[in-house]
């Protein structure tokens, strides 16, 4: 996608899961899953950690701070990964601004 | 090869009854009668078995699932056992009361079909006057009820030139997603192939329209679009691979690896009366037959993409070559590739009338069914 996103994920944005989207633990697979209209995702460990911080209260910047603290990793590296993933999920209408 | 994993999704074909008569219907040529359909209690048992097996999403489909009076009951049971419930519907006969009942039962999403953006053409393709207006009403009801809406548009020679208008229709209806599905040629669609297969020029224009719209509408409308097999260079991983992700239960209770698998001869598909879904998924010979890579002939067997496309579509290989175990001719490396080339030429040179979907005696053409309602 070369165009500017319609709903850009900025640092002060507060994200939540869209209605009728479920992020839950699946007992059969012993893994976290995302269920959405016509979509089914099996997020990897890193993605699960990010999604667990999406609670409709934290801003994107807080999510990045939390993860940067947890991993003792350069904040801008983490920020790049997090924003890229969240933007993709907003564009797919799994998350909402 | 790796261990067999549990299925992700189940298509529950509750009935073959449908008010529409689309000439590319994915139901088999031999349609089940209402009297052969599974009852409510059996469906509930199957939904429970599906959830225990690891199925995460259930798609209530048909035919038209709304013709089943117990639909809300089944949706409620699906939600109770933890399945994410999706309704795949024509929208005909959907009213506010029925929808409220389904929402209350825990329905998560509606996928609504449209045959064209042009009402006259859409009614003609669906074989039912007034159908396209009814669908527009249904879309409004779904949005008013707060459910996510996916517009499904099956595209082909007779509507592909209006793909831009179909995209605009989806936006105007407030859809979250548009699924643009090229016709797959087996069953009814294979019978109507010369009337449905698009030209290369149509296809290129449509693909460009989708690409432009995706950029323009990002964040507003998600567009799912896959190039059709007859113009592809490599085949698709049909159903994500045979017996890997998906299972289908027919109105009469047969369990299939995909909705078209009954077109394959020589395979014995078990029913839900004979075995549990788990036994069928992990141990039936039908699900084992094309699972993984051991069954593959060359050029698939030594291909570096064998665990990407899983040999393509077994039903398409069978429909075109008469042998389900051959490489899908959608692959440019298939020795049967010329069969696709011939079909494309056929469609470009002839313009036959539709043979509409109908119950039994399906092999003859009914002249009263081809008139336009306009």
Taking CB atoms within 8 Å and a gap of at least 24, the contacts of B358-364 are B358/B21, B358/B31, B359/B16, B359/B31, B359/B33, B360/B30, B360/B31, B362/B29, B362/B30, B362/B31, B363/B29
In a domain, A7, yes or no: no
- pLDDT band for position B348 (cuts 50, 70, 90): confident
- B249 has a pLDDT exceeding 70: yes
Interchain CB distance below 8 Å, B56 and A18: no
Closest CA–CA distance from residue B110 to any residue of chain A (Å): 8
Asked, for residue A54, whether it belongs to a domain, the answer is yes
Q: Which residues of B touch A1 (CB under 8 A)?
A: 214-215, 218
Whether A60 maps to a domain, the answer reads yes
Q: Which whole-number Å values give the CA distances from B332 to B36, B194, B301, B336, in the listed order?
A: 41, 21, 15, 9
CATH number at residue A32: 1.10.10.1150
Q: 3-state class of B222 per DSSP?
A: strand
Please state, rounded to an integer, the average pLDDT across all residues of chain B: 93
The answer to whether B240 faces chain A, any CB pair under 8 Å, is no
In a domain, A4, yes or no: no
- What tens digit of pLDDT does each residue of B88-146 get? 999 999 999 999 999 999 999 999 999 999 999 999 999 999 999 999 999 999 999 99
CB atoms within 10 A of CB B152: 20
Domain span holding position A22: 16-96
A3 to chain B, closest Cα gap in Å: 6
| B142 Cα to chain A: minimum distance (Å) | 13
More confident position, B367 or A95: A95
B318-346 pLDDT, tens digit each: 999 999 999 999 999 999 999 988 888 88
Residue A30 at interface with chain B, using a CB cutoff of 8 Å: no
Q: Mind listing the pLDDT tens digit for each residue in A75-89?
A: 999 999 999 999 999
A57 interfacial to chain B (CB closer than 8 Å): no
Residue A43 is assigned to a structural domain of this protein: yes
How far is B271 from B87, CA to CA, in rounded Å? 23
Which of B153, B219, B277, B281 has the most A C-beta neighbours within 10 Å, making it the best mutation to test the interface with A? B219
Instruction: Say if residue A63 is exposed, middle or buried (CB neighbours under 10 Å; 0-12, 13-18, 19+).
Output: buried
A with B: how many residue pairs have Cβ under 8 Å apart? 64
Residues of chain A with confidence (pLDDT) below 50: 1-2
**Residues in B touching A22 (Cβ below 8 Å):** 84
Residues of B in contact with A3 (CB under 8 A): 215-216, 218
User: Within a domain: residue A6?
Assistant: no
Q: Which residues of A touch B111 (CB under 8 A)?
A: 37-38
> Quick one: pLDDT at residue A4?
67
Put simply, whether A41 touches B (Cβ < 8 Å) is no
> What DSSP string runs through chain A?
--SPPSS---TT-B-EEPTT-EEEEETTTTEEEEEETTEEE---HHHHHHHTT-SSSSBHHHHHHHHHHHHT--HHHHHHHHHHHHHHHHHTTSEE-
ipTM: 0.90
Contact A35 B57 (CB under 8 A): yes
A89–B contact, CB cutoff 8 A = no
The answer to whether B176 contacts A3, with C-beta atoms less than 8 Å apart, is: no
Q: pLDDT tens-digit profile of B41-100?
A: 999 999 999 999 999 999 999 999 999 999 999 999 999 999 999 999 999 999 999 999
A67 lies in a domain? yes
Domain count, chain A: 1
Cα gap B137→B177, rounded to integer Å: 18
Q: Which of A43-47, B203-207, B245-249, B355-359 has the lowest mean pLDDT?
A: B355-359
CB contact under 8 A, B219 and A7: yes
Q: Residue B365: what pLDDT?
A: 43
B81 touches chain A (CB under 8 A): no
B 5-34: CB under 8 A from A: 6, 8-9
| Residue range B171-188, pLDDT digits in tens | 999 999 999 999 999 889
- How much is the pLDDT for B374? 33
Q: How far apart are CA B21 and CA B362, in angstroms?
A: 12
Q: What percent of chain B lies above the pLDDT cut of 90?
A: 86
Contact A7 B146 (CB under 8 A): no
Nearest by CB: A37 against B6, B150, B214: B150
d(CA B153, CA B116): 7
CB B14 within 8 A of CB B74: yes
Q: How far is Cα B177 from Cα B220, in angstroms, rounded to an integer?
A: 9
Sign of the CA dihedral B110, B112, B117, B119? negative
B36-59 burial code (b ≥16 CB/10 A, e <16): ebbeeeebbebbbbbbbbbbbbbb
Read out DSSP for B121-142? HHHHHHT-TTHHHHHHHHHHHH
pLDDT band at B3; cut points 50, 70, 90: confident
Quick check: is A9 in a domain?
Answer: no
Burial of B224 (0-12, 13-18, 19+ CB in 10 A): middle
In the structure, what pLDDT confidence band is assigned to residue B361 with cuts at 50, 70 and 90? low
Cβ–Cβ below 8 Å for B111 and A3? no
B209's tokens = 């329209």
| Residue B109 C-beta-side C-alpha neighbours within 13 Å | 28
The answer to whether B220 contacts chain A (CB < 8 Å) is yes
Out of B84, B108, B219, closest to residue A6 by CB:
B219
Rounded average pLDDT over B221-234? 91
């Amino acid at each position: 996608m070369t165009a500017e996103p319609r709903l850009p994920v900025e640092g002060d944005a507060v994200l939540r899961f869209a209605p009728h989207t479920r992020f839950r633990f699946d007992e059969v697979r012993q893994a976290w899953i995302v269920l959405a209209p016509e979509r089914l995702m099996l997020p990897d460990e890193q993605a699960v950690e990010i999604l667990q911080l999406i609670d409709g209260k934290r801003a994107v910047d807080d999510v990045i701070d939390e993860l940067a603290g947890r991993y003792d990793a350069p904040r801008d590296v983490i920020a790049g990964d997090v924003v890229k993933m969240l933007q993709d999920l907003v564009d797919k209408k799994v998350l909402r601004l | 090869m790796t261990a067999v994993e549990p299925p992700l999704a189940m298509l529950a074909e509750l009935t073959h009854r449908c008010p529409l008569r689309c000439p590319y219907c994915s139901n088999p040529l031999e349609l089940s009668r209402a009297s052969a359909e599974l009852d409510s209690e059996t469906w509930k048992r199957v939904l429970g078995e599906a959830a225990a097996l690891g199925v995460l999403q259930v798609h209530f489909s048909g035919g038209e699932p709304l013709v089943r009076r117990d639909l809300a009951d089944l949706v409620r049971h699906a939600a109770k056992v933890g399945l994410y419930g999706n309704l795949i519907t024509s929208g005909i006969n959907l009213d506010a009361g029925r929808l409220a009942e389904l929402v209350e039962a825990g329905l998560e999403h509606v996928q609504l079909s449209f045959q064209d953006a042009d009402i006259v053409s859409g009614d003609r393709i669906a074989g039912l006057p007034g159908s396209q207006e009814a669908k527009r009403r249904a879309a409004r009801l779904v949005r008013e009820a707060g459910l996510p809406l996916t517009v499904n548009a099956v595209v082909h020679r007779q509507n592909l030139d209006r793909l831009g208008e179909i995209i605009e229709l989806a936006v105007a209806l407030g859809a979250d997603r548009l699924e643009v599905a090229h016709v797959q040629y087996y069953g009814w669609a294979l019978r109507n192939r010369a009337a449905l297969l698009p030209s290369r020029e149509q296809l290129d224009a449509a693909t460009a329209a989708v690409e432009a719209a995706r950029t323009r509408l990002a964040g507003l409308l998600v567009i799912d679009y896959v190039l059709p097999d007859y113009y592809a260079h490599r085949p698709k991983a049909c159903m994500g691979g045979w017996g890997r992700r998906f299972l289908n239960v027919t109105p009469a209770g047969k369990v299939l690896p995909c909705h078209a698998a009954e077109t394959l001869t020589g395979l014995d598909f078990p029913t839900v009366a004979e075995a549990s879904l788990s036994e069928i998924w992990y141990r039936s010979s039908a699900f084992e037959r094309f699972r993984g890579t051991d069954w593959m002939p060359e050029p698939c067997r030594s291909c570096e993409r064998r665990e990407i496309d899983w040999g393509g579509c077994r039903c398409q290989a069978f429909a075109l070559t008469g042998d389900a175990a051959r490489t899908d001719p959608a692959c440019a490396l298939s020795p049967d590739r010329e069969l696709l080339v011939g079909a494309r030429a056929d469609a470009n040179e002839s313009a036959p009338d539709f043979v509409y979907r109908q119950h039994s005696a399906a092999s003859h053409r009914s002249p009263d069914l081809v008139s336009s309602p306009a």
